[in-house]
């Protein structure tokens, strides 16, 4: 990976087809959980900070009340014709403006934070699938989470015996 400071430095890299060029976005990264209907109405846009990431998984984060992040995610969802739940990933550029990194059309792994903050995306997605009217906007509270993985070790027979008893 190289930080290219100007057009001359970019030209100096040559024309190797294996090179991927993208804008340098030095600011904070956010994931915005969104839900939109078939008419382009975005009922929910909940920004989450990624305070700590381990192997690509957010292990600490917080919902963030930031109208600029919400509006950017809403515009992205409308522009691509999003229907349903998606995770819009943004990062701030050098001027502090949100810029698009990617859109993941799925329930994100950190969805429990969004639900705990007051936006029950799975329930809203079910309402959408059943043709129920979605609210205009769903408010949320600022809330933080710390996630961890816990390993529990048991004898294989304990698991097999437990499963057979069901």
Other residues' Cβ atoms within 10 Å of the Cβ of residue 47: 26
Write the DSSP symbol of residue 9.
H
* Secondary structure of residue 146 in the 3-state scheme: strand
Provide the residue-wise pLDDT of the chain in tens; the chain has 166 residues: 778 888 888 888 888 888 888 888 888 899 999 999 999 999 999 999 988 888 878 889 999 999 999 999 999 999 999 999 999 999 999 899 999 999 999 999 899 999 999 999 999 999 999 999 999 999 999 999 998 878 889 888 888 755 555 5
| Model pTM score | 0.80
CATH class, range 26-147? alpha beta
């Amino acid at each position: 990976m190289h930080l290219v400071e100007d057009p001359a430095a970019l030209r100096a890299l040559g024309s190797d087809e294996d090179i991927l060029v993208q804008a340098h976005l030095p600011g904070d990264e956010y994931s915005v959980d969104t839900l939109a209907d078939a008419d382009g109405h975005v009922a929910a846009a909940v920004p989450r900070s990624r305070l700590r990431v381990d192997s690509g998984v957010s292990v600490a984060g917080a919902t963030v009340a930031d109208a600029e992040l919400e509006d950017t995610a809403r515009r992205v969802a409308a522009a691509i014709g999003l229907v349903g739940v998606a995770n819009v990933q943004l990062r701030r550029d050098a001027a502090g403006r949100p810029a698009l990194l990617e859109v993941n059309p799925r329930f994100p792994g950190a969805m429990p934070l969004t639900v705990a903050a007051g936006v029950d995306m799975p329930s809203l997605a079910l309402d959408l699938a059943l043709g129920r009217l979605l609210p205009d906007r769903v408010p949320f509270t600022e809330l933080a989470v710390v996630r961890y993985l816990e390993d529990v070790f048991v004898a294989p027979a304990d698991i097999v015996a437990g499963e057979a008893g069901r």
